[in-house]
Chain A
Amino acid sequence: MIRYVLVRLGNGLFVLWAALTVSFLVLHLVPGDPVSVMLRGNGGEASSVDPAAADALRAELGLDRPVHEQYLDFVWRAARLDFGTSFTTGDEVRAVLGRSLGPTLELAAAALLLTLVLGVAAAVAGTLLPKAPLRSAVLSATVVGNAVPSFWTGIVLLQVFSFGLGWFPAYGAGDLGQLVLPAFALALPGIGTLAQVLSRSLRTALADPYVRTARAKGASRLRATTAHALRNAAIPAMTLFGLMVGGIVAGAVITETVFSRPGLGTLTANAIGGHDFPVIRALVFLAGALYVLVNLAVDLVYPKVDPRIVLRAA
């Protein structure tokens, strides 16, 4: 067990290193010069940049050094979780990230909770409802949820519930009311995917002989499903859920922009627009670390759900 976790963490470090290296290379290859963006400020002309000032700034940021030197320095500092200072604001990257992390965690937690509760509920309802048309209505609804892009969902939700009915505020972060619409918009595609995968494996599990044994004991259909089939059907859904957690940062970029919420998503959008290399790299690192840790956590939960699964370090 301990050996397994250590091996997996080792693999995770490799994944992080690879992600950082790729992001470093990509940022060096993409067109656009951070120094001219910074000197230009907002809306400035490219020709208005003073070459001397640009060189000075480039030296200050260490961008005049050879690429391999920059890379080694970057990796060495990243290993100590030091990502330097933001090109655009001059603040320490760690502090910038720290400020944005809170609202995004809030949003992500709310969205994942919604995904889990509504996804499982839709799967169970789509399998157990007494009338076939009701079952297919639930499952079709999940397909729609899955197919609609989340920026559109966000806009529709804003139109209906903030501007139309005025139930929830349209933007901002802090209280619970402000969380509802963005969390729902972020969760909707996940709810659909989770419900579809879970309902399919649930239907397979319900055909297994142990479900008949449970019913022969006198268990109701609902009990046979929730107490027996659901746990057996959970593994594919858990794998999917782990992948969703990793993807939540990507989803937050769109959702936070639509709802004008501060957070990692907005930060990502701004950092990319402003060629703010240190912030982008730190975000890549954070997303990678999140991905590695969540998937490790999911793998560690597997044997608790299904005792036949044995963890084995590859």
Chain B
Amino acid sequence: MNEPTVSPPLLAVRDLRVSYRTRAGTVPAVRGASLTVAAGETVALVGESGSGKSSVGLAVLGLLPDGTEPVSGSVELDGRNLVGLPERALRGVRGREIGFVPQDPKASLNPVQRVGAQVAEVLRIHGLERGRAAAARRARELLGEAGLPEPDRVAERFPHELSGGMCQRVLIAIALAGRPRLLIADEPTSALDVTVQRHLLDHLADVTRRAGTGLLLITHDLAVATERAERVAVMSDGRVVETGPSADVIGAPSHPYTRELVAAAPSLTAPPATPAAPDAEPLLTVENVRRVFRTRLPQGGRQVTTAVDGVSFTLPRGGSLGVVGESGSGKSTLAQLLLRLDRPDAGRIVLDGVDLTSVPAGRLRRLRRHVQPVFQDSYGSLDHTFTVAEAIAEPLRAFGVPGRARRVADLLDLVRLPAAAGARRPTELSGGQRQRVCIARALALTPRLLVLDEPVSALDVSVQARILTLLAELREELGLAYVFISHDLAVVRQVCDRVLVMRRGRAVEQGAVADVFSGPRHPYTQELLAAVPGGPRTVSEGASP
């Protein structure tokens, strides 16, 4: 167990510096990062977006984008410095000595090539198999080893015919095809569901243990880092600020930044949000809504998908309902139905006694001011040609509300943005600031209900924590009700008093957050909770004081 620390490191990064050339001048991304990975060891490189963690991974591979200043410092693989090696020599290292597992599995495979051929390409580039047929055969074996069922059939598929998790397994097969000694995985599971994430991380752990491969796991997720890595290196602002065994760094952080990061991470043990008053009258009643999509298949024939299948719930005034589930469970379709951007095929959605499914169009438009959305992609949700003030004023203009400038100033204040932000464009704001603008716009018409669809999923933990605090405060201040859709159970716990678990369009379980999280009844809820990184352990620790 102590072996890795005794033997010389497989990878030693020393005082690495990376700067990008931009129109505004050179911007340092990594300002002196050092870390080591031993054979068979997993080291997590943790940090928020912009911390430079991905640049470190790319610098090790020699794949920094065009327009990067020459790298300084050293990257030694088994004692051989890779910095400054000619491109031809680096090509022999990539794929053969260092494997790379990228972040976005669906986009990281060539969409117009069969996946088997994409695995075989590694073998052909490095001359590991003689001939096309042998490479294809070995590629199918590798797909099987990566845990894909029916590898012979999967090899003939195109990426768009596979799920995100399957694509990531293909990418793992590609990364391992050349039997590399070091694997760099850059956020390998952040685009995937928790249960899929768990299987993939188990698989990577298995590979590193069996083959003695070193793994540099780049992640924003502290829980993943703690659970999967022997050692953690925390990056902030281009520097590694703290490094050491995972349990020590996360359990007893010494650097202030690490402490902040640990405190910001949502956990399954935090006290749940305050419930609505028990005598509150219902604001929203959803009865047996159903939404069926009919799509035509390329082979001919039709496919019928029931995205939302008989979901019912009641939300009291000032209540907050979390809707959780994995991708494809129908949560976002449910959000579209509640916002009446889509019409259910059956069922009723009653807001304050009015059935939204049957009101005429003109009346529906007037009712829209009571239900407002906040989406995940704050960048795509704002028109880049509008200033912040114009974006927030737009719903006011649409409903002819007078005194708009004054109201916009109040709203900026409400979401804790400076008044000067009103004159700026969405592109000039950070992700957290943009999401505040979206929230301000949603609040402009003093709605009774906000439908929030993964509002903090694209944000870093520290920013996420601040937005969640803001949402909790706004709920108290304004008496708002939330329907809060998220794949992240810990986040739901922080904002919601009730939770509804969706699977394949059905609500499999619903109840008070405290009850469902501590005593899940449905096997799927149990599976979901168990898959949360660090989940079961934290829960059991909380149970026995």
Q: How far, in whole Å, are A104 and B95 apart by their CA atoms in the complex?
A: 51
Within 491-506 of B, Cβ neighbours of A (below 8 Å) are at none
Inter-chain contacts of B126 with A (CB < 8 A): 218
Given the known interface contacts A210-B107, A217-B174, the answer about A308 and B125 at a Cβ–Cβ threshold of 8 Å is: no
Within 8 A of A (CB), among B99-142: 99-100, 102-104, 107-113, 118, 121-122, 125-126
**Does A260 touch B at the CB level, under 8 Å?**
no
Chain A's closest residue to B114 (CB) is A307
Interface centre among A215, A223, A231, A306 (most CB of B within 10 A): A215
Q: Which residues of A contact B461 (CB under 8 A)?
A: none
A312 touches B (CB below 8 Å): yes
Q: Are A308 and B160 in contact (CB under 8 A)?
A: yes
User: With a CB–CB cut-off of 8 A, which chain B residues contact A213?
Assistant: 100, 102, 108-110, 118, 171, 174
CB within 8 A of A212: which of B91, B108, B125, B178?
B108
A310's partner among B93, B111, B298 (CB-CB below 8 A) is B298
Contact B102 A218 (CB under 8 A): no
**Bound Cα distance A220, B100 (Å):** 16
Chain B residues, CB < 8 A from A310: 298
Within 8 A of A (CB), among B418-436: none
List A295-314 residues whose CB lies under 8 Å from chain B: 305-308, 310, 312
Q: Is the CB of A308 within 8 A of B111?
A: yes
CB nearest to B97 among chain A residues: A218
Contact of B112 among A209, A231, A312 (CB under 8 A): A231
Bound together, the chains give a CA A277 to CA B139 distance in angstroms of: 64
Q: How far is the CA of A209 from the CA of B108 in the complex (A)?
A: 5
Q: Which residue of the partner chain A has the closest CB to B297?
A: A310
B94 partner, pick from A209, A217, A227, A306, beta carbons under 8 A: A217
Flag if A219 contacts B121 (CB, 8 Å).
yes
The one of B107, B121, B160 in contact with A307, judged by C-beta atoms closer than 8 angstroms, is B160
Partner of B113, one of A208, A216, A228: A228
Bound CA–CA A220/B63 (angstroms): 11
Q: How far is the CA of A138 from the CA of B91 in the complex (A)?
A: 28
Q: Is A201 an interface residue (CB 8 A)?
A: no
Using CB atoms, name the residue of chain B closest to A303.
B298
- Measured in the bound complex, the distance between the Cα atoms of B62 and A218 in whole Å is 11
A227 contact set on B, CB distance < 8 A: 121
Residues of A contacting B: mostly: helix
> Closest CB-CB distance, A135 to chain B, in whole Å?
11
- Interchain CB contact under 8 A, A210 and B109: yes
User: Does B96 belong to the interface (CB within 8 Å)?
Assistant: yes
CA distance A232 to B126 in the complex (A): 24
Bound complex: CA of A227 vs CA of B118, how far in Å? 10
B315 within 8 A of A: no
Taking a contact as CB atoms under 8 Å apart, the answer to whether B100 and A216 are in contact is yes
- Give the residues in chain A near B177, CB-CB below 8 Å: 217
Contact A312–B296 (Cβ < 8 Å): yes
Interface presence of A214 (CB below 8 A): yes
User: B92 interface residue, CB < 8 Å from A?
Assistant: yes
| CB-CB under 8 A for A306 and B111, given A213-B171, A213-B174, A312-B296 | yes
From B63, B110, B111, A216 is in contact (CB under 8 Å) with B63
Q: Which A residues lie within 8 Å of B298 (CB)?
A: 310
Contact B160 A232 (CB under 8 A): no
Q: Which residues of A contact B92 (CB under 8 A)?
A: 218
Of B103, B111, B178, B296, which is within 8 A of A218 by CB? B178
Which residues in window 100-127 of A have CB below 8 A to B? Answer: none
The answer to whether B112 and A232 have CB atoms under 8 Å apart is: yes
Q: Is B61 an interface residue (CB 8 A)?
A: yes
Q: Would you call A232 and B111 a contact (CB within 8 A)? A: yes
Please determine whether B96 and A210 come into contact, CB atoms closer than 8 angstroms: no
Point out the residues of chain B lying under 8 angstroms from A218, CB to CB. Answer: 91-96, 122, 125-126, 178
B103 partner residues in chain A, CB cutoff 8 A: 209
Tell me whether B524 is interfacial, beta carbon within 8 Å.
no
**Given the complex, which residues of A lie within 8 Å of B63, measured CB to CB?**
212, 215-216
Contact yes or no, B178 A306, CB < 8 A: no
Within 8 A of B (CB), among A190-249: 208-210, 212-221, 223, 227-228, 231-232
Name the B residues within 8 Å of A209 (CB-CB): 102-104, 107-108
Q: What is the bound-complex CA distance between A88 and B93, given in angstroms?
A: 74
- B257 contacts partner chain A, Cβ-Cβ < 8 Å: no
Note all chain B residues with C-beta closer than 8 A to A210: 107-111
* Cα of A217 to Cα of B171 in the assembled complex, Å: 10
CB-based contact B112/A305 at 8 Å: yes
Which residue on A lies nearest to B159, using beta carbons?
A210
| Interface: B158 (CB within 8 A) | yes
Cα distance, A223 to B158, chains bound together (Å): 20
B95, A228: Cβ atoms closer than 8 Å: no
Residue in contact with B110 in the complex, picked from A214, A215, A221, CB distance below 8 Å: A214
Q: How far is the CB of A160 from chain B (nearest CB, A)?
A: 38
Choose from A212, A307, A312 the contact partner of B158 (Cβ within 8 Å): A307
**How far, in angstroms, from A215 to B108 measured CA to CA in the complex?**
11
- Contacting residues of chain B (225-249) with chain A, CB-CB under 8 angstroms: none
A280 to B125, CA, bound (A): 57
Query: What is the chain B residue whose CB lies nearest that of A231?
Result: B112
Among residues 264 to 310 in chain A, which have CB atoms less than 8 Å away from a CB atom of chain B?
Answer: 305-308, 310
Residues of chain A with a CB closer than 8 A to B125's CB:
217-219, 223
Cα–Cα, bound, A29→B126 (Å): 70
Chain A residues within 8 Å of B87, by CB: 220-221
Closest to B63 in A: A215
B-side contacts of A223, CB under 8 Å: 125
Query: Contact: B122 with A217, CB < 8 Å?
Result: yes
Q: How far is the CA of A305 from the CA of B107 in the complex (A)?
A: 17
Distance between Cα atoms of A15 and B325 in the complex (Å): 51
| Choice from A208, A220, A306 contacting B107 with Cβ under 8 Å | A208
Task: Determine the residue in chain B with the shortest Cβ distance to A308.
Answer: B160
8 further interface pairs, Cβ-Cβ under 8 Å (given A216-B95, A232-B110, A306-B111): A210-B111, A213-B174, A215-B94, A217-B95, A217-B122, A218-B126, A227-B121, A305-B112
4 nearest A-B pairs in the assembled complex, by CB-CB distance: A218-B95, A216-B100, A217-B95, A310-B298
